[in-house]
Structure 1
Amino acid sequence: MVDHQERDDGTLDQLLGAAAPSRTIVTPAIEDELARMTVAAKDEGRSADRPRRAKRTAAVGVILAVLLGGAGAATAATIGEWPWWAEKPDGKYFYTAPSGEACEVRIGKFESSDPAVEAIMRDVQGWEVALDDGAIAAAFEAEKETHRQFEADMRAQGNEPYVQSEAVLYELAIYRVIQEYADDKLAAQGVDLREVSNGPLELGWSGEIKCAEATGE
């Protein structure tokens, strides 16, 4: 099990609270590439005339879709501040981006046809957890390899693939690490969601990433 660290640090909240609003551009997810998870990642422009800058990304995911045979769906949007569901999230995680930005991830809006599954997934989310750098690096390499294979398969079929940026792949890696964190907690508790569910296991969730960097203040 990866040793992610719990933390209690108000500095990031202050940075994010002072961050400039930004323009959001939506990048469509590639379902064929991400059989396990569908994620809509958002890249954003930044304001140059403010002392602090912010980046926000949004995602919707399907947890363990391949293993569990289900495909739940949820939506998330980024307009200004945190979306409504992220004001009271089920999980909060932190990491430092390669650029040095301090980032916060909020997870929530679990949706399933089985309330028991929803409750379990909420319970196993981390709170104020700093994600392990090594786990992120490994997940990033895995996402890049997945995308390289996707590109190769598409070209072998005579199709020109959509090439995802490394920035987006890095964000997908963050969500992969968070999913693995929840999986580890489920395993530690001896919980198999397939045994809990009363039918086909479908579980949708939403995630939001918000980053900020101080620039000399």
Structure 2
Amino acid sequence: MTQRNALDDILTAVAPRVSAQSPELTEAISTMASETKLEVRPRRRLSRPLATGLAAMLVVGGGATAAAAATWQWHPWAQDPDASFMVTMPSGAICEYRVGGVSGAPADIVSAFVASHDIVALADVDGAIAQARADGQTMYDENGDLQPAGPGSAMYDADFEYQSALNLAVSELVKSHLEETGDLAPYQLNMQADCDDQ
């Protein structure tokens, strides 16, 4: 038996919410991971579940982990983004999303699409939330035990649920657009968010 160290304890405490494993979920994750990379990094901690949940969701989606930290800054590509949009979380927190650093697909097509459309209105966030709830929402507690995390549970966080669903819905929206234009190929779409305090 190995002795747990402080890092193990930290990782256990911030372990992600995960949906129940299913063939459909595995296929959806594989497809999304091959098509896009999302990076969402809240500058300030809105709430612990949101900050840690975002990081974990993005690992599943193929992106880098995010952490709220005092040294937070925009990624180099996000300092001059291809597009941006604003999102209001269920808590009322306002997040500015910046999009750019596209590779693997025509960057001009992806960027023009995001810049010229109301991405939040077009993305099927409600559908993604409904699917997550149907699959079952869970999260590891501070003891490393998997607990229910859907609406009505002690671990439910509406901001986490919404932002996770938004990321998935935007990915699907961009994928559909690239299918329509005949440009669908494995690609990377970077997104970074800066959220205010509430």
TM bucket normalised to smaller: 0.5 to 0.7
**1:102 and 2:102 are equivalent in the alignment:** no
Question: Deviations 1:156-209 (Å, cap 9, x if unpaired)?
Answer: xxxx8687764433222112332344345446xx41224xxxxxx321222112
1:37-48 equivalences in 2 (<5 Å)? 37-38=32-33, 45=45
For 1:208 and 1:103, how far apart are their aligned partners in 2?
A: 10
Partner Cα separation in structure 1 for residue 110 and residue 122 of structure 2: 24
1:208 maps to 2:197: no
Instruction: Output the CA distance in 1 between the equivalents of 2:18 and 2:109.
Output: 28
> What letter is aligned with 1:192?
G
Q: 1:97 Cα deviation (Å)?
A: 0.9
2:183 aligned residue = 193
**Larger Cα Rg: Structure 1 or Structure 2?**
1
SS at match of 2:196: strand
C-alpha separation in 1, matches of 2:122 and 2:86: 11
- In the alignment, the residues of structure 2 paired with residue 205 and residue 30 of structure 1 have an alpha-carbon distance, to the nearest angstrom, of 23
State how far apart, in whole Å, the 2-side matches of 1:28 and 1:184 are: 28
Cα distance change, pair 29–87 in 1 and its aligned pair in 2 (3 A): farther
Is 1:141 the counterpart of 2:141 in the alignment? no
Asked whether the 8 Å contact 2:119–2:170 carries over to 1, the reply is no
Q: State the match for 1:120 in structure 2.
A: 109
**TM-superposed deviation, 1:75:** 4.2
Q: What is the distance in 2 between the residues matched to 1:134 and 1:106?
A: 16
| 1:171 matches 2:163 | yes
Find the aligned partners of 1:62 and 1:117 in 2 and give their Cα distance: 24
> What letter corresponds to residue 204 of structure 1 in structure 2?
Q
- Counterpart contact for 1:94–1:102, Cα < 8 Å: yes
Which of the pair is proportionally richer in helix?
2
Structure 1 residues 38-95: Cα deviation after superposition (integer angstroms, max 9, x where no partner):
5676676469xxxxxxx796675899xxxxxxxxx66475642322221122221222
More displaced stretch, 87-96 vs 32-41 = 32-41
Kindly provide the amino acid, as one letter, of the partner of residue 133 in structure 2.
K
Distance (whole Å) between structure 2 residues aligned to residue 124 and residue 84 of structure 1 = 21
Call closer, same or farther: CA 1:74–1:213 in 2, change over 3 Å: closer
**Aligned CA-pair RMSD:** 4.4
Distance 1:134 1:140, change over 3 A: same
Letter of the structure 1 residue corresponding to residue 112 of structure 2 = D
| Structure 1: gaps spanning 5 or more residues | 1-24, 48-54, 64-72, 152-159, 195-200
| In structure 2, C-alpha distance between the alignment counterparts of 1:171 and 1:161, rounded to whole Å | 21
Match of 1:86 in 2: 78
Contact preservation (8 Å) 1:27, 1:40? no
